[in-house]
Structure 1
Amino acid sequence: MTIEDMTGKTYQIWPFRSDIEEGGLNIGAIDLTRYPDRIDEILELNLMPTLKDKVLRINKENTAIMTLGCWLGEAPDIQGVLDAYIQFCFRPSVNTTGINLNNLDDLFYEHVEEKAGKEARHSMETRLEWFVFDVKLYAQHPVKALHVAVEAYTPSDLESFLSPLVNWLHSEFLHLAS
């Protein structure tokens, strides 16, 4: 698959402040690596408790990955369908020179196939959309961030796609953590 460049408006410096966007509240970015106790403020994760636990773990522990944000809401183009995404990057202290970020999706899909078979891989490949964008962490560390989106009918369905991804990110790159 191909990870596409993110088009459209997105933040360029992280963490970003809260804002009101198109009639809805954006609580801003919460740095869970520094403030894991604030996870309950991320309302989307309260609807996805399994994913919430995995997001807390990947941020709280000394891992190579940190999450930057997530979202869950109604799909704008299909009634009764939910959209969700998770955004993440490698922590600034992690040396990523040996990692091809444009190939991260394929590595994940290979893992899914190895663990759950070709049908599971096909399901993930057809449902997940991957994007990459540039961001400055703490206004000083330029990194490539990834945005992985999925559509489904229920928060539980969304979790079934995003939770395995967060699990894989945690275990696959743990050896890079300092």
Structure 2
Amino acid sequence: MQHLKRHNFVIFPYRPCEHGDGEFNNGGIDLIREPHRITELHELHGYPWFKEFFTKVNASEGLFMTFGCAIGILDEFLCGYIDFSLRPNSDIRLRRQLASMDDMFIAYLNHSIPDGEMRRKSIPYAQQISEWKISPLEIHGHTYAKLNLTFHARQEEGVKWLIEHLQFFLTKYFLRNHSLSQSGKCT
């Protein structure tokens, strides 16, 4: 994972703005606090599986939250990114795991994909079409880190496959295997 001193933004939420190329950024929308505002994310239009990722990751019972995204066709590739992290009320022990989230995701894929040729092809494919970055984050009085997953593939199905696995990893697998119970023990 690439460690950056700054990537996209540091403080969340951030203000809406119009870029020099006419592209409008909605600003940082906290979908945990305002889930109804998901309709304002124009990036999600035309990609129902991408919208589902944002809906599920930002659901009230989750550990993670999203901060921003982009998706679109560039030079015949479907490209984009997702900025996300643990929620501000997450345990410090979980926050320390953010720096190895890329490795944990690949380990999850290795565990979840059946043995054989599909696994031998899927893991390198996931690594080929994605890139992970980590950078500082300040949110609601907490300072820790956020993750950026950049993706690019010739076919939408490849990106959809990656994002659907990431959704399951963040909302089910990580929650089940790495979250802390009320007693403070790993579950």
Residue type at the aligned position of 1:30 = I
Counterpart of 1:106 in 2: which secondary structure?
helix
Residue type at the aligned position of 1:83 = C
Partner of residue 44, structure 1: 43
| Compared CA separation, residues 150 and 120, structure 1 to 2 (3 A) | same
Contact 1:18-1:26 at 8 Å conserved across structures: yes
**1:16 aligns to 2:17 (yes or no):** no
Counterpart of 1:60 in 2: which secondary structure?
coil
Residue type at the aligned position of 1:101 = L
| Compared CA separation, residues 170 and 176, structure 1 to 2 (3 A) | farther
Q: TM-score, normalised by structure 1?
A: 0.86
Q: Which runs of 5+ in 1 are unaligned?
A: none
TM-aligned CA deviation for residue 173 of structure 1: 3.2
Aligned-pair Cα RMSD in Å? 2.0
Q: TM-score, normalised by structure 2?
A: 0.82
Higher relative contact order (CA 8 A, sep 6+): 1
Structure-1 separation of matches of 2:149 and 2:47:
16
Partner of residue 153, structure 1: 154
Contact 1:48-1:155 at 8 Å conserved across structures: no
Structure-2 separation of matches of 1:156 and 1:107:
23
Contact 1:110-1:121 at 8 Å conserved across structures: no
Partner of residue 84, structure 1: 80
Structure-2 separation of matches of 1:39 and 1:177:
30
TM-aligned CA deviation for residue 146 of structure 1: 0.1
Cα displacement string for residues 55-111 of structure 1 (whole angstroms, at most 9, x for unaligned residues): 212212221111111111343xxx222321111111111113254322111111111
| Compared CA separation, residues 7 and 93, structure 1 to 2 (3 A) | closer
Partner of residue 103, structure 1: 100
Partner of residue 125, structure 1: 127
Residue type at the aligned position of 1:145 = K
Contact 1:65-1:173 at 8 Å conserved across structures: no
Structure of larger gyration radius: 2
How many aligned residue pairs are there?
Answer: 172
Sequence identity of aligned pairs in percent?
25
